[in-house]
């Protein structure tokens, strides 16, 4: 018997996120689990996760997290809506997403008398709770590859909802075989808005060059030869080019947080991988 659901979507309530992102009037302590649906549907949810096979893998996508942060950047200026948002916090989270090496999650289920939840343990799960904007975000768990041994690989994505969700502790839903909706609306570039133009202004180049210390920032994500555990980077100072960390073609903006220096060799490697 196969599952009738291609992915599961969970709304992000204020009770789930870390303190900085909670709604200003939220007095709760928070929780690390997300409501999926009624416990009456437990068999269907368990089937989607292949009985929670111990060899299942669950992992966030690095670029998708950066794209999500770009989409919700404006919320970090709404100081009266959330407990402790700021531009500084936004920049810190962008840095953390770029820094984190392991995006895997130890995902499991939890049930009570009426509800079915998912919960996770890992540095990536805690980081996600730090950057998720409540009531306007969803966590999507999608099966991307099933193996003959009865287990599968799952991708976890944080996305901006098309509309704000009501304030509810039981804000969750699951989706069937309907095609995924387009998450980003196309926008016409504004004249003079640097973030909507591919060309990098000279003052921004100077800032990025100084931050990168005039060295190629390619790491294991770009070149598998570089050591993942030690945080090794290329470090070359020859034939340097400005690179959009989240590709411009995928909605990446020309901003300080989304630019880095790559040598010509590693810039080509990154481009070939993204095509």
- CATH number of the domain to which 240 belongs: 1.10.30
Distance CA 258, CA 163 (A): 26
Q: Is residue 201 part of a domain?
A: yes
Q: Which residue reads 């992915």 in tokens?
A: 7
243 and 127 fall within a common domain: no
Q: Is residue 192 part of a domain?
A: no
Of 144, 175, 206, which residue constitutes the final position of a domain? 175
Q: Is residue 261 part of a domain?
A: yes
Q: Is residue 45 part of a domain?
A: yes
Distance CA 51, CA 16 (A): 25
From residue 218, how far is each of 91, 142, 156, 178, 237 by CA, in Å? 20, 29, 25, 38, 12
* Distance from chain centroid for Cα 163: 19
Q: What pLDDT does 173 receive?
A: 43
| pLDDT tens sequence across 190-244 | 444 556 688 889 889 989 999 898 899 988 888 888 887 777 889 898 899 999 9
Q: What is the mean pLDDT of the chain?
A: 85
Of 175, 209, 224, which residue constitutes the final position of a domain? 175
Q: Is residue 191 part of a domain?
A: no
Task: Tell me the torsion sign for CA atoms 191, 89, 184, 162.
Answer: negative
Domains in the chain, number:
2
63 and 159 fall within a common domain: yes
204 and 238 fall within a common domain: yes
Q: Is residue 126 part of a domain?
A: yes
| pLDDT tens sequence across 13-25 | 999 999 899 999 8
80 and 148 fall within a common domain: yes
Q: Is residue 187 part of a domain?
A: no
Q: What pLDDT does 266 receive?
A: 93
Q: What pLDDT does 189 receive?
A: 45
Please, which residues have CB within 8 angstroms of residue 111's CB and are 6 or more apart in sequence? 39, 42, 117
| Ranges of the chain with pLDDT below 70 | 1-4, 29-30, 165-196, 274-275
Of 118, 145, 175, which residue constitutes the final position of a domain? 175
126 and 208 fall within a common domain: no
169 and 202 fall within a common domain: no
- In 3-state terms, what secondary structure has residue 192? coil
Residue 138 sits at the vertex; the CA angle it makes with 18 and 157, to the nearest 5 degrees, is 95
167 and 201 fall within a common domain: no
145: which 2 tokens? 């590859």
**252: domain range?**
197-274
81 and 211 fall within a common domain: no
Q: Is residue 237 part of a domain?
A: yes
Which of 253, 274, 264 shows the shortest CA–CA distance to 218? 264
By the 8 A CB rule, do 119 and 32 touch?
Answer: yes
13 and 86 fall within a common domain: yes
150 and 56 fall within a common domain: yes
120 and 207 fall within a common domain: no
67 and 144 fall within a common domain: yes
Q: What pTM was estimated for this model as a whole?
A: 0.73
């Amino acid at each position: 018997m196969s599952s009738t659901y291609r992915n599961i979507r969970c709304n992000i309530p204020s009770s789930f996120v870390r303190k900085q992102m909670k709604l200003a009037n939220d007095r709760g302590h928070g929780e690390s689990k997300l409501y999926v649906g009624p416990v009456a549907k437990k068999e269907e949810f368990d089937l989607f996760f292949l009985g929670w096979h111990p060899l299942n893998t669950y992992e966030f996508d690095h670029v998708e997290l950066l794209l999500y942060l770009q989409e919700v950047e404006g919320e970090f200026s709404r100081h009266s809506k959330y407990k402790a948002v700021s531009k500084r916090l936004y920049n810190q989270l962008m840095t953390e997403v770029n820094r984190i090496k392991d995006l895997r999650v130890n995902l499991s289920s939890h049930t009570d008398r009426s509800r079915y939840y998912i919960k996770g343990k890992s540095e990536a799960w805690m980081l996600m709770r730090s950057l998720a904007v409540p009531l306007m975000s969803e966590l999507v768990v999608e099966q991307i590859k099933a193996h003959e041994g009865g287990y599968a690989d799952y991708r976890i994505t944080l996305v901006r909802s098309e509309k704000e969700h009501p304030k509810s502790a039981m804000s969750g839903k699951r989706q069937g075989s309907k095609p995924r909706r387009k998450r980003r609306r196309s926008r016409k570039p504004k004249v003079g808005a640097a973030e909507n133009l591919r060309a990098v202004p000279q003052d921004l180049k100077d800032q990025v060059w100084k931050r990168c210390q005039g060295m190629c920032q390619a790491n294991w994500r770009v070149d598998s030869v570089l050591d993942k555990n030690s945080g090794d980077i290329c470090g070359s100072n020859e034939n340097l080019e400005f690179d959009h960390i989240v590709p411009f073609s995928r909605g990446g903006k020309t901003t300080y947080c989304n630019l880095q220096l790559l040598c010509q060799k590693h810039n080509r490697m990154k481009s070939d991988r993204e095509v």
